Amino acid sequence: MKPDRRQILAMGGGLCGGLLTQRALAAAPVEVIEMRGTARGERIWFAPRGLAVATDTVLRFVNRDPGNSHTATAYHPGLFDRARRIPAAASPWDSDFLLPGASFDVTLTVPGVYDFYCIPHEMAAMVGRIVVGAPDDPGWEGTAGPSKDVSQAVLAALPPVNEILLRGRIEEATR
């Protein structure tokens, strides 16, 4: 039995819907955060060090420092017993050490503020802050407060949330 016009249109609609769904999945936004350093390692940093993204954005950490290895590690009790500085409902991540040119992807689905650090360079305040979504999003959790777990230098290096939301991205600090 031949399909009628309505059935053909329905099949076409389903086909288009499938393609759109695939395209939407393929087009999931990707934001790159680079790990950078000077040639002799005098300074190291995340670029950007502050970034605002929509929920479900893929964050790609890429080591662009030819002479050093870096990590991107969330502040969380499940990772090296650190005080939590990401939303309670979020899953922590640790890229492990990335050699030059290597990368690591993570998708953040819970709105709120995420602070992360580089394990071998936290003492040099190599830290960053990602703001996912906006404060009026359901489930949003804002900035973690001061803690003895992190140094004043680290806290000072984390950009304010309102500045990140205003500018979208904040590059290397002027030092």
Partner 1 sequence: MKLSTAVLAIAASMTTGPAFAHEEDALTASPPGDPYVQVSDVLPLPEFLPGLGTLFVDPGTLPAGPFLSYDHDGRLSATVYMTPLEDMASGTAYDGLGIGSHTVSGVDIYYNAGHPGVEKPHAHVVLYHDEDAKGRLAE
Binding site for partner 1 (CB under 8 A): 37, 39-44, 66-69, 80, 96-97, 99-100, 119-121, 123-124, 126
Catalytic residue among 11, 16, 76, 123: 76
The torsion angles phi and psi of 109, rounded to 5 degrees, stand at -110, -15
Catalytic residue among 11, 16, 35, 118: 118
Nearest approach in angstroms of CB 123 to partner 1 is: 6
70 given a catalytic annotation = no
d(CA 164, CA 83): 22
Nearest approach in angstroms of CB 117 to partner 1 is: 12
d(CA 54, CA 108): 9
16 given a catalytic annotation = no
Of the two residues 20 and 123, which places its CB atom closer to partner 1 in the complex? 123
Strands of the sheet with 127-132, listed across from one edge: 73-74, 112-117, 127-132, 50-53, 169-170
Nearest approach in angstroms of CB 93 to partner 1 is: 16
d(CA 124, CA 132): 25
Residues serving a catalytic function are: 76, 118, 121, 126
